[in-house]
Amino acid sequence: MVQDNIRVILDCDTRNEIDDQLAISYALGVGNLDVLGVISVHDTVADGQTSVELYQAEAQHIVKLCGRPDVPCWRGASRPMETIDEAVESEGLDFLLAAASEGPLTLVATGPATDIAAFALLAPSDVAKNVSILWAGGFPDPGTWARHKFGELNARADIHAWRRTFQSARNLKVLPGWPAVATVAVRWREFAASLKTLNSELGNYLSDLTVEFCEAREAPDMDQVRPEKVLWDIVNVAALSIPKMVRFVELDLPHLDAAGAPDWTRPVGSAPFAMEVDADAIIADFWTALHSLPKVRER
């Protein structure tokens, strides 16, 4: 059962892919999540120096399509950290600090860890203790890092923030892409068609976005388009909506060097890692949430 009145702030790199848009929509459709706002964090590796402006505009578009234009969308960090001790300040960070000073909340972070690191560096201890963090990134063990180190963008997009988050963030839970989150996948053509059946502007937009993204990711000379798409970031929301369907295991947080190479023989601490999920239950809960949203239609 979902807890009552979970105060939530989303920290997203919306439009870097399609999963942040899905995660925002999911969170806004879960009845007992009180979404206070959406912070847009950069991904300069994927979208260059203006990424945060692009992502904020997309976040604003999504909350409007969800019938929630009252949810504020703030700009977070516009660039990666230059050192492990530099806090990149922003209006989004100010919003997070103010909201955390008012009481417990959960930061659902699905992009680079820059805003998490800034919060860890600047929040007074009595404020920091109020915030639980769910971050989509990192690796649970050396084998997973060796196999997938070039596929995990959130960590690589700001290595200093990744290092600071592992060293300093309190109340941290980590949702690495592998092995569990990657199982939350759909056949994307059928998924896009199902989004159309929502009979709303949101459903139409997310459907078109899914098709556009999944077709564009294929090389021009490939004979066949990959049929499946992982819905990565919705698992962060599921960890709050249906927590028993996302199972965490306490694991070591590895030491990270300046290049982002992890060393599990020198842990800097430990944290719960999402190591098993019920993919079917998560996707079903996602659909329930989307169907609960108001049917905003084009005018």
262 part of a folded domain: yes
Query: What's the pLDDT score for residue 225?
Result: 55
Residue 10 inside a domain? The answer is: yes
pLDDT at 295: 84
**Region class of 176: left (phi > 0), else alpha (psi between -120 and 50), else beta:** beta
Q: How many separate domains does the chain show? A: 1
Q: Give how far Cα 263 sits from Cα of 46, 77, 220, 258, 266, Å.
A: 26, 27, 38, 12, 6
Q: What is the distance between the alpha carbons of residues 153 and 297, in angstroms, rounded to a whole number?
A: 34
Q: What is the pTM of this model?
A: 0.95
Per-residue pLDDT at 243: 98
Are 84 and 164 within 8 A, CB to CB? yes
Does a structural domain hold residue 211?
no
Is 192 domain-assigned? no
Domain contains 198: no
287 in any annotated domain? yes
The residues of the chain scoring below 70 in pLDDT are 1-4, 218-225, 297-299
Please write the tens of the pLDDT for every residue from 119-172.
999 999 999 999 999 999 999 999 999 999 999 999 999 999 999 999 999 999
With respect to residue 210, please indicate whether it lies within any of the assigned structural domains: no
Is 21 part of a structural domain of the chain?
yes
CATH number at residue 93: 3.90.245.10
Enclosing domain of residue 92: 6-185+231-292
The pLDDT of residue 5 is: 87
Which pLDDT value is given to residue 222?
47
Residue 217 has a pLDDT of 76
Record the tokens describing residue 224, joined without a space. Answer: 């066949």
Q: Which pLDDT value is given to residue 1?
A: 41
